[in-house]
Copies of this chain bind each other. A is one copy, B any other.
Amino acid sequence: MEIQVLKKIKQQGNRLTKPRKLISEIFTKVKYPLTAQEIQSLLKNENINIDLTSVYRTINLLVSAGLIDKIDWGDGRKRYEIVRSEKHHHHLVCDNCGTVENIVFKDEQWLIDRIKKKIKFQIKRHSLEFFGLCQKCH
């Protein structure tokens, strides 16, 4: 998986630099949406210092390459998550403790296809996020 990301960066004519490798690795390891700051902190925990600017620039590169998806929770920070083609999922975000669970809908594609047939609008992306309380915080 990780190797695929690095391969794709090169394929698109971009250089494989240390920040790009390290940030890609973070995305392959962490399974919930990350902000630029969180990526920088995770790297700092491993004693790696990458400038925030480079984090932002790498994020933009990975988005353009279609390797990560933007996830928005409406709190003024942009979050990004690796694209795992096998597992298109959505998130259950706990208002209290902030933990994130993933949720997969069996009929989602069927539903989207049905919507597409009904409307004249050409849907390219959609965003579906759930907020509430996780089991622990009930």
The interface of chain A, by Cβ under 8 A from chain B, is 70, 72-74, 76, 78, 92, 94-95, 101, 103, 105, 111, 115, 119-135, 138
Which 8 A/B pairs are nearest by Cβ-Cβ distance?
A: A72-B74, A124-B132, A120-B135, A123-B132, A122-B133, A92-B121, A125-B131, A122-B132
**B127 and A127 contact, CB distance less than 8 A:** yes
Q: A76-B76, A78-B76, A119-B103 given as contacts; is B128 within 8 A of A124 (CB)?
A: no
What is the minimal beta-carbon distance from A63 to any residue of chain B, in angstroms?
A: 11
Q: A76-B78, A127-B128, A128-B126 given as contacts; is B95 within 8 A of A121 (CB)?
A: no
**A126 and B125 contact, CB distance less than 8 A:** no
**A125 and B119 contact, CB distance less than 8 A:** no
Q: Given A115-B130, A126-B131, 4 more contacts at CB 8 Å?
A: A70-B74, A111-B111, A121-B133, A121-B134
